């Protein structure tokens, strides 16, 4: 009887080991849990399920700058934004973004930075959020602080973006545009944190930090 | 009967030979062309270069191409994994416990993208009828150190992938003209939206790791494409992901083509009597400089072979050009120092007082030199300062 139990346990442990070893083979889990400097991301507003988006369409009112909206579809390259450091203070490529860190969010296709200022948004009369600058260079109102719990901005965590300068939170409350950008939602700044200003990273190209040093002094 | 026996013997011998050959295991280091102490970066670089050369689509006349390519994949799979490499180094290929489970396709596409490079050249021609998803361009900042030594950047790509879903959907929708007959000889043309029926798709996010190589000597704005890693198109092919190199400014070295420029400040004494120093280069090695003549402010020294490797042929290197700036004392010399009696130092330069007289003598000499006369030393070029010295 004892021998049978021992044998059964032996088989169990062996099969468990095989399963573990085999599962390791399946494919590497992503080792990168954080959003890092230089990465391209799509940002999803968790309350309204739309992605932060911009395009070569200007506001018809307010500042007349390039508009920023929220879109439903997940396969548009115009929803990609690059995470970069402040002007004159570049972040190190691949370094995880810390909670509280000031960053710029640059629209990949047009090279303009996520920007807000004291203009009214067209649909809801909140603070207008636009895309401003050329080739990634705009002005001091391009800077946003990432607000999250913990040390670093985690990829599957909802965070808030608080504007450095006007203290507005990047938000969506659901108002929709008509022609020519029918169905897209208004993105604006709101003064207080609430359920409408949570965003999380979705699709993207996430740069990993450098592993080895470039020259081998220790040899 | 004897012949049959002979054949059997031959077959047995052949089988034995084959099995021993197989069991002997492959030399992965030799397949990749790297030394036993190669770094992971060297291994990735070797794989990437050989994968392009040995891909079966590129070698359609070689019957062994598939095997060579498979060997390459196996070699990379083992040597790029720390654990497996240790096992292989100790016990050989037979000592590897788990066997090969990753397909070579996975490894290849992490360096070149889903569709590999085969479509790279042909993409334009095949493209016209197949709709394509958007391209993604990522500006990749690289340091001058990385341009000098090369590097690999790992990147995690999370992208939406079209998967089959239950049901049907409308696709290829287009406007068509329909003609309806209203009566004899009377027709009406109307526009109508006509769609085909296609299997339903949904977009599911998938993740994989890509390896981007920063090749030695890479230039600003150069692009590294990963075919098929861009945005999907539900009715067609995905677009591409391209990494565009942006070389960052370096605090010490300035790049001009394959040449590097840097400034070094020397003291007044060194400018007159010469000096010897080491300059730390981008990969840490020291460039030794010796000078035993007078060095004028703005003088340049040319160090051949100490520049950046040329992208097209890394055996050719540019030059390092060092421009010397001379640091003059900050405070005025007092009477004693001017007379040369004070054996102390001026602004930390011991022996300056002894030289002050020398300096005055030298000044006269310099003023005597006709303007525009250049030294004839072929190795170095100097820029003559017409201002002269003010004392």
Domain count, chain A: 1
Q: What are the extents of the domains in chain B?
A: 8-116, 136-247, 253-327
DSSP codes of every residue in B269-286? HHHHH-EEEEEE-TTSPE
Residue B164 is predicted with a pLDDT of 81
CA distance A129 to chain B (A): 24
Name B307's Cβ contacts closer than 8 Å, sequence gap at least 6: B258, B259, B260, B317, B318, B319, B320
Name A82's Cβ contacts closer than 8 Å, sequence gap at least 6: A38, A39, A40, A105, A106, A108, A136, B138, B139
Contacts of B134 in chain A (CB under 8 A): 75-78
Is A173 among the domain residues? yes
Beta-carbon separation of B138 and A40 below 8 A: yes
Contacts of B156 in chain A (CB under 8 A): 30-32, 205-206, 208
Question: Are the C-beta atoms of A212 and B41 separated by less than 8 Å?
Answer: yes
Is A72 among the domain residues? yes
Calpha distance B145→B98 (Å, rounded): 38
Contacts of B207 in chain A (CB under 8 A): 30
- Across the A:B interface, residue pairs with CB atoms under 8 Å apart total 102
Is A192 among the domain residues? yes
Is A2 among the domain residues? no
**What does pLDDT average to over chain B?**
79
Overall average pLDDT of the B26-55 stretch:
88
Asked if this assembly's ipTM is beyond 0.95, the reply is no
Contacts of A28 in chain B (CB under 8 A): 209
Which of B87, B100, B141, B212 to mutate to probe the A interface, most A CBs <10 Å?
B141
Question: What kind and span of H or E run contains B8?
Answer: helix B2-24
Residue B372 is predicted with a pLDDT of 47
- Could you please state the CATH topology (level 3) that the domain comprising B253-327 is classified under: HSP40/DNAj peptide-binding domain (2.60.260)
CA distance A62 to chain B (A): 31
Give pTM, 2 decimals: 0.75
Calpha distance A186→A45 (Å, rounded): 12
Calpha distance B81→B243 (Å, rounded): 25
Residue A212 is predicted with a pLDDT of 61
User: A93 at the B interface (CB within 8 A)?
Assistant: yes
Q: Which of A77, A78, A82 lies closest to B139 in CB terms?
A: A82
| Residue A197: CATH number of its domain | 2.80.10.50
Q: Which range, A79-83, B70-74, B195-199, has the best average confidence (pLDDT)?
A: A79-83
Helix (H, G, I), strand (E, B) or coil at B17: helix
Question: What kind and span of H or E run contains B79?
Answer: helix B65-79
User: A206 at the B interface (CB within 8 A)?
Assistant: yes
At B25, is the pLDDT very low, low, confident or very high (cuts 50, 70, 90)? Answer: confident
Q: Find the helix packing angle between B65-79 and B40-54, rounded to 10°.
A: 170
Higher pLDDT, B383 or B252: B252
Beta-carbon separation of A202 and B151 below 8 A: no
Here the tokens at position B259 are 């040449």
- What's the burial of B11, exposed, middle or buried (CB within 10 Å: 0-12/13-18/19+)? exposed
Establish whether domains B8-116 and B136-247 are of one fold. no
Q: Which range, B99-103, B115-119, B232-236, has the best average confidence (pLDDT)?
A: B232-236
Is A215 among the domain residues? no
Is A132 among the domain residues? yes
Residue A23 is predicted with a pLDDT of 46
Helix (H, G, I), strand (E, B) or coil at B170: strand
What domain range includes position A144? 36-205
Contacts of A76 in chain B (CB under 8 A): 134, 231
Q: What percent of chain B has pLDDT over 70?
A: 76
Beta-carbon separation of B134 and A77 below 8 A: yes
What's the Cα-to-Cα distance from B303 to each of A6, B193, B257, B287, B306, rounded to whole Å?
74, 71, 15, 9, 6
The CATH number that domain B8-116 falls under is 1.10.287.110
Residue B347 is predicted with a pLDDT of 45
Beta-carbon separation of A214 and B134 below 8 A: no
What's the Cα-to-Cα distance from A128 to each of A42, A135, A169, B7, B135, rounded to whole Å?
20, 21, 11, 88, 29
Q: Which residue of A has its CA nearest to B142?
A: A93
CATH 1.10.1040.10 fits B136-247, yes or no: no
pLDDT over 60 (residue B126): no
């Amino acid at each position: 009887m004892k021998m049978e139990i021992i044998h059964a346990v032996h088989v169990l442990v062996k099969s468990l080991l095989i399963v573990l070893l085999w599962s390791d083979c399946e494919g590497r889990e992503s080792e990168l849990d954080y959003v890092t400097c230089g990465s391209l991301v799509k940002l999803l507003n968790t309350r309204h399920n739309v992605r932060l988006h911009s395009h070569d369409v200007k506001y018809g009112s307010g500042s007349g700058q390039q508009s920023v909206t929220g879109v439903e579809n997940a396969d548009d390259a115009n929803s990609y934004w690059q995470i970069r450091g402040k002007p004159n203070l570049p972040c190190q490529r691949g370094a995880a973004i810390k909670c509280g860190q000031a960053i710029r969010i640059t629209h990949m296709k047009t090279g303009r930075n996520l920007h807000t200022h004291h203009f009214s948004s067209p649909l809801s009369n909140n603070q207008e959020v636009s895309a401003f600058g050329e080739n990634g260079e705009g002005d001091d109102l391009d800077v946003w602080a990432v607000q999250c719990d913990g040390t670093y901005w985690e990829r599957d965590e909802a965070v808030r973006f608080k504007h450095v300068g006007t203290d507005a939170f990047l938000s969506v409350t659901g108002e929709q545009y008509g022609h020519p950008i029918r169905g897209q939602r208004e993105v604006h700044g709101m003064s207080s944190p609430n359920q409408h200003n949570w965003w999380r990273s979705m699709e993207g190209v996430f740069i990993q930090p450098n592993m080895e040093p470039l020259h081998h002094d220790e040899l | 009967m004897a012949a049959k026996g002979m054949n059997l013997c031959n077959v047995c011998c052949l089988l034995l030979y084959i099995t021993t050959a197989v069991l002997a295991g492959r030399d992965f280091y030799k397949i990749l062309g790297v030394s036993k102490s190669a770094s992971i970066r060297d291994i990735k670089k070797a794989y990437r270069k050989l994968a392009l050369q040995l891909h079966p689509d590129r070698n359609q006349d070689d019957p062994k191409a598939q095997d060579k390519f498979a060997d390459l994949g196996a070699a990379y799979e083992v040597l790029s994994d720390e654990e497996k490499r240790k096992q292989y180094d100790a016990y050989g290929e037979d000592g590897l416990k788990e066997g090969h489970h990753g397909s070579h396709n996975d490894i290849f596409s992490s360096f070149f993208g889903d569709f590999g490079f085969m479509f790279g050249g042909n993409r334009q021609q095949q493209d016209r009828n197949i709709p394509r998803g958007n391209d993604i361009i990522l500006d990749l900042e690289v340091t001058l150190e990385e341009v000098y030594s090369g590097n690999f950047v790992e990147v995690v790509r999370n992208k939406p992938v079209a998967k089959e879903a239950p049901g049907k959907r409308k696709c290829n929708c287009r406007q068509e003209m329909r003609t309806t007959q209203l009566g004899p000889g009377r027709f009406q043309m109307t526009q109508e939206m006509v769609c085909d029926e296609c299997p339903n798709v949904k977009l599911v996010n998938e993740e994989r790791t890509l390896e981007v190589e920063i090749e030695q000597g890479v230039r600003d704005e150069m692009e590294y494409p990963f075919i098929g890693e861009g945005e999907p198109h539900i009715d067609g092919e995905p677009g591409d992901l391209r990494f565009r190199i942006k070389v960052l400014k370096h605090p010490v070295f300035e790049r001009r083509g394959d040449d590097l420029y840097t400034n070094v400040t020397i003291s007044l004494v060194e400018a007159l009597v010469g000096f010897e120093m080491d300059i730390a280069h981008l990969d840490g090695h020291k460039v030794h400089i010796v000078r035993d003549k007078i060095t004028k402010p703005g003088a340049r020294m040319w160090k051949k072979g100490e520049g950046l490797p040329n992208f097209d042929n890394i055996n050719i290197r540019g030059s390092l050009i060092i421009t010397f700036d001379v640091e003059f004392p900050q405070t005025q010399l007092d009477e004693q120092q001017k007379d040369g009696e004070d054996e102390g130092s001026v602004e930390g330069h011991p022996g300056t007082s002894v030289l002050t007289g020398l300096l005055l003598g030298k000044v006269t000499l310099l003023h005597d030199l006709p303007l525009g006369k250049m030294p004839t030393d072929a190795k170095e070029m100097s820029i003559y300062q017409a201002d002269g010295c003010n004392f």
